[in-house]
């Protein structure tokens, strides 16, 4: 009976675990990447509408070419001029507005086909800009450039020049976004008029700001030279009003390991390998030896044509054979 109870308990535990899993899955369904947020949908909708208008314009061009081949009789000309603003042409254009796989596009065309027809037959003349009429004013999925959001309000810094021309307005031209500025790297602040660290205002008035890079010795600055630094960059110190390079090597204790020498650079330093072979005092003193520099040291090796024999470089046998074969006649060989 004890074993039976244990099995029962295991079964209960498994049931509890599965219930918990089901509960978690139901309460927090995994986010599907296909489902865009409402905000994202608003941005998409404007893009979709813009795409439709682009294809419509393309359709106008294509059908114009196809049907005005020239050499038409009077009867044909009359028919064609009718075709120009006919339903047949419109249907032809509408058929090609979306790729069959583009769900959003097909959806939008289906939903607003009537609007497109109204424009084609009644509004085209007074509202030739289809994008403005359809996407901005009728379907209301886009906004005029420089405006954003459900009511198409001006971007930060005004609709004429959002973000003062120094950044992008969030949602610009769509019914989405909050109109805030994403400044270019040189600029910062709500209106992209202030300069980022490392840049200074080379021009500024109420509506206009130009930020230019500081001298490379400055972290922050008010002008172009190393005398205009507010803060020096790391590795630079203020000396007589200007930021000058710190010579990290000019200290008693070298920052490098003993087998390396210190090389000062702008704003920093480098530890370089010492080339012992280029010392004025020769380090490889044996006869017929060459010096080879290595990281942290050097090697003395025998020159070409010589080989090491118990610490002394002697002419190598191979090289001897070769040179004698080339230079001498066969009788020398016999001598050997
Ligand atoms: C600010 O500068 C710009 C560019 O030079 C100029 O077009 C604009 O009129 C100036 N605005 C004011 C208020 O001075
Ligand atoms: C020695 O002779 C060989 C061919 O016999 C040739 O390839 C080689 O270049 C010669 N070497 C010299 C040092 O003349």
pLDDT digits (tens, 9 = 90+) for 31-65: 444 678 999 999 999 999 999 999 999 999 999 86
How much distance in Å is there from the Cα of 313 to the middle of ligand 2?
A: 23
CB 106 within 8 A of CB 98: yes
φ/ψ bin of 16: left (φ > 0), alpha (ψ from -120 to 50), beta (otherwise): alpha
Of the candidate ranges 28-37, 136-145, 162-171, the one whose mean pLDDT is the lowest = 28-37
CB 256 within 8 A of CB 271: yes
User: pTM for the full model?
Assistant: 0.62
CB 233 within 8 A of CB 217: yes
User: By alpha-carbon position, which residue is closest to atom 14 of ligand 1?
Assistant: 205
Q: Which of 248, 182, 249, 186 has the alpha carbon at shortest distance from 212?
A: 186
Note the pLDDT of residue 336.
42
Q: Which of 296, 237, 235 has the alpha carbon at shortest distance from 267?
A: 235
Whether 205 is in the pocket of ligand 1, judged by its Cβ within 6 Å, is yes
Measured from the CA of 206, which atom of ligand 1 is nearest? 13
CA dihedral of 20, 24, 30, 36, whole degrees rounded to 10: 160
How much distance in Å is there from the Cα of 146 to the middle of ligand 1?
A: 19
pLDDT in tens, 248-289: 998 888 899 888 899 999 989 999 998 889 887 888 888 899
Q: What is the mean pLDDT of the chain?
A: 86
User: By alpha-carbon position, which residue is closest to atom 7 of ligand 1?
Assistant: 208
Would you kindly state where each structural domain of the chain is located, as residue ranges?
Answer: 38-63+81-138, 147-213, 280-315
Read off the tokens for 317: 């046998």
Whether 208 is in the pocket of ligand 1, judged by its Cβ within 6 Å, is yes
Q: Which of 241, 239, 209, 240 has the alpha carbon at shortest distance from 228?
A: 241
Read off the tokens for 187: 């600029």
Mutate to test the pocket of ligand 1, among 208, 210, 211 (most ligand atoms within 8 A of CB): 208
Whether 160 is in the pocket of ligand 1, judged by its Cβ within 6 Å, is no
Mutate to test the pocket of ligand 1, among 158, 207, 211 (most ligand atoms within 8 A of CB): 207
Mean predicted confidence (pLDDT) in 167-186: 96
* HSE-CB for 307 with a 13 A CA cutoff: 6
Position 66 pLDDT exceeds 70: no
Helix (H) or strand (E) holding 259: none
Measured from the CA of 205, which atom of ligand 1 is nearest? 1
The percent of residues above 70 in pLDDT, for the chain, comes to 80
Pick the CATH number of 280-315 from 2.10.25, 3.40.50, 3.30.1380, 1.20.120: 2.10.25
Mutate to test the pocket of ligand 1, among 164, 203, 205, 209 (most ligand atoms within 8 A of CB): 205
Mapping DSSP to helix (H, G, I), strand (E, B) and coil, where does residue 242 land? Answer: strand
Note the pLDDT of residue 73.
66
- Give the separation between CA 302 and CA 314, rounded to whole angstroms: 8
Q: Which of 256, 259, 249, 199 has the alpha carbon at shortest distance from 223?
A: 199
Whether 207 is in the pocket of ligand 1, judged by its Cβ within 6 Å, is yes
DSSP output for 268-314: EEEEEE--GGGSSS-S--STTEEEEEETTEEEEEEPTTEEEETTEEE
Q: Which of 129, 165, 174 has the alpha carbon at shortest distance from 147?
A: 174
């Amino acid at each position: 009976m004890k074993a039976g109870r244990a099995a029962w308990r295991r079964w209960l535990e498994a049931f509890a675990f599965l219930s918990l899993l089901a509960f978690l899955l139901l309460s927090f369904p995994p986010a599907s990447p296909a489902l865009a947020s409402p905000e994202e949908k608003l941005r998409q909708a404007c893009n979709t509408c813009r795409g439709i208008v682009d294809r419509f314009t393309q359709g106008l061009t294509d059908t114009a070419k196809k049907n005005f081949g020239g050499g038409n009789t009077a009867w044909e000309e009359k028919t064609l001029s009718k075709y120009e603003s006919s339903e047949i042409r419109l249907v032809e254009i509408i058929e090609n507005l979306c790729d069959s796989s583009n769900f959003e596009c097909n959806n939008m065309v289906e939903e607003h086909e009537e609007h497109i027809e109204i424009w084609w037959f009644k509004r085209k003349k007074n509202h030739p800009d289809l994008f403005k009429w359809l996407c901005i004013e009728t379907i209301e999925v886009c906004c005029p450039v420089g405006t954003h959001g459900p009511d198409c309000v001006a971007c930060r810094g005004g609709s004429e020049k959002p973000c003062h021309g120094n950044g992008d307005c969030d949602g610009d031209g769509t019914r989405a976004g909050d109109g805030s500025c994403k400044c270019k790297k040189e600029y910062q602040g709500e209106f992209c008029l202030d300069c980022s660290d490392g840049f200074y205002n080379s021009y500024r008035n109420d509506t206009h700001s130009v930020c230019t890079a500081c001298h490379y010795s400055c972290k922050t600055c008010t002008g172009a030279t190393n005398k205009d630094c507010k803060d020096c960059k790391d590795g630079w110190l203020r000396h007589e009003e200007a930021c000058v390079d710190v010579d990290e090597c000019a200290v008693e204790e070298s920052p490098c390991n003993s087998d390396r020498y210190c090389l000062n650079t702008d704003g920093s330093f480098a530890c370089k390998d010492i080339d012992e072979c280029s010392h004025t005092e020769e380090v490889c003193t044996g006869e017929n030896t060459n010096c080879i520099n290595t990281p942290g040291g050097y090697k003395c090796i025998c020159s070409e044509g010589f080989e090491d024999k118990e610490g002394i470089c002697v002419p190598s046998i191979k090289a001897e054979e070769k040179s004698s074969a080339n230079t001498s006649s066969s009788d020398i060989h016999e001598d050997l």
